[in-house]
Amino acid sequence: MAALELIDETFNENRTESYELSVQFGQDGFAMAIRDTERNAFIAMADRPHPTPIADHDADWGATVKTLCEAYPYLRRPFKRTRAWYHNAPHTTAPAHLVDTANAKQLLNLTQQVPPSFELHMAPQQMGQQACTAIFAIPSSLAAEWLRLQPNTELIGPMHHLTHQSYVCPWTTYLLAEADGSTQLNLALFRDGAPLATNSFSCQTATDMLYYAVGFCQNLEAEPAQTPIKLVGHSTTEAELVALLQRYFPEVGTGVIYNHALLTYRLNKHGAQYFSLFNH
């Protein structure tokens, strides 16, 4: 049973070739969003936990993908575009001219521990004026099973949505903070409208999130007291977090308006909570 499943009445599984599909896999579950490119609107989304969390890195993802196809048979159909990523995948970003297939794994291992059953992937990423390469790893079994189902899928890094600015923002220099549950904070600093840096932090409390947000800015020579912050994602301590952030940042914005697509009425209130699904 899906924790959240919203499908607009206009959704037609026979029209998937005019739809874009965004998919997030993780050890705890699966989430997706579907955009109708002809109407330029998101018309479906789901957040579905696995019956049993996948704790073993060597797990065979075949049964999981099969279960998803039974729940959503149209996943077997071709889509106009499909993007997929693995939640909390080992990842790093480096200047493009420093990365090649020979040293990518070595660079990733400098900051992340990569399970032996994961395979390496790379994707271009723009950070300000710097061309970069995102290096990330996903379970080999998952990649094989999903690409067998959707062979034209573009695999992207888990931080891609933070640097892809397809939403309306009143500032050009600001901190984007995504609360990923109550145990992780993803951050991206934008300067003059372009992403400057990203990072992800493990947290236990709202105070931890505040500490990392302030420290992240200071390390990049952005004074928190002069840097507005946009808060997206979801956290059980969101009210406390907003109150803490307001003490150190001049303005805390919540909610998101997307400039590349609309969200149908049923999906609209979830635009900020499921930022990673809609911001591609």
16 and 145 together in one domain: yes
Q: Are residues 66 and 10 in the same domain?
A: yes
241 pLDDT higher than 80: yes
- Mean residue pLDDT of the chain comes to 93
**Are residues 245 and 272 both part of a single domain?**
no
Residues 114 and 144 occupy one common structural domain: no
Reported pTM: 0.92
Quick one: 119 and 66 in the same domain? no
What is the CATH classification number for the domain harbouring 229?
3.30.420.260
User: What digits encode the pLDDT tens for the residues 9-37?
Assistant: 999 999 999 999 999 999 889 999 999 99
- Residue 53: the pLDDT is 75
Alpha helix stretches (DSSP H) within 220-274:
238-248, 265-268
**Statement to judge: residues 185 and 132 lie in one domain:** no
pLDDT in tens, 120-154: 999 998 887 889 999 999 999 999 999 999 999 99
Same domain, 52 and 152: yes
pLDDT at residue 1, as a whole number: 43
pLDDT at 2 > cutoff 70: no
Residues 133 and 37 in one domain: no
What pLDDT digit, counting tens, does each position of 158-180 carry? 999 999 889 999 999 999 999 99
For the chain, the maximum distance between any two Cα atoms, rounded to a whole number of angstroms, is 52
Per-residue burial over 182-191, b = 16 or more CB atoms within 10 Å of its CB, e = otherwise: bebbbbbbbb
Q: Residue 147: what pLDDT? A: 97
The pLDDT of residue 194 is 93
Residues 127 and 211 occupy one common structural domain = no
Range of the domain at 134: 91-138
Closest Cα partner for 89 from 128, 47, 117?
Answer: 117
Q: What is the pLDDT of residue 277?
A: 96
CATH at residue 47: 3.30.420
Residue 243 and residue 202 share a domain:
yes
Residues 106 and 223 in one domain: no
Distance CA 214, CA 208 (A): 10
Q: Are 267 and 42 in contact (CB under 8 A)?
A: yes
> In the chain, how many domains are there?
3
- Same domain for 76 and 20: yes
The total of other beta-carbon atoms located within 10 Å of residue 78's CB is: 11
| Coil vs helix vs strand at 101 | coil
Q: Is the model's pLDDT at 57 over the cut of 80?
A: no
